[in-house]
Homo-oligomer: A and B are copies of this chain.
Amino acid sequence: MDRTDDSLIALRRILRATELYERDLASAAGVTPAKLRVMQIVHMKGGWTTPKALATQMGVSQATITGLVDKLAKDGLVHRAQSETDRRQVNVMLTDDGRAALSRAPDALQQRFVREFERLEDWEQAQLLSSLERVAAMLDARDIDASPVLTVGAIQKDTQSRKDSRGKA
């Protein structure tokens, strides 16, 4: 039956749209997608995180994070600071430039999704959510901790807009 095919096609369109947006997006911020993702996660976490946390969240090795953070630091978009409680740890923080770059990369894809989603009727939202979760469950047996970050990042329920650099305690 054709519904299966049609569903696969729709899925594919979703995947492709996401990928394309991610690239455009990154270039809008003047960085590569991977670096943008790092910045977005740092932002999401309130302004700082550790390489370890980044590696886990992004699903890559710590060595990869080291490389990305190196480049971001060289570009002055983030900077490193040693944690005071555990001196093995490093805190990765956005610089002002980093925040500026992030804001130049409005997450069109996600914003669009959010905007349209929130325009739906209540029951439609519920149905969409349940369908998406069902598909996710169908495809993803394991339980992966995925953040609500699509192209990663713009959902910013930035309730606390503190820009201080209270480098971890």
Contact = CB atoms under 8 A, between A and B. Distances in A.
B165 A9 contact: no
A168 B11 CA distance: 26
Contact of A136 (B10, B23, B125, B147): B10
Given A15-B18, A16-B59, A139-B17, A129 B10 contact: yes
How many copies of this chain are found per oligomer?
A: 2
Contacts of A165: 24, 27
A60 B3 CA distance: 28
Interface stretch (A62-70, A76-84, A89-97, A150-158): A150-158
Interface residues of A, number: 67
B13 A136 contact: yes
A10 B59 contact: no
A139 B113 contact: yes
Nearest first, the 3 closest Cβ-Cβ pairs linking A and B are A131-B131, A17-B140, A10-B132
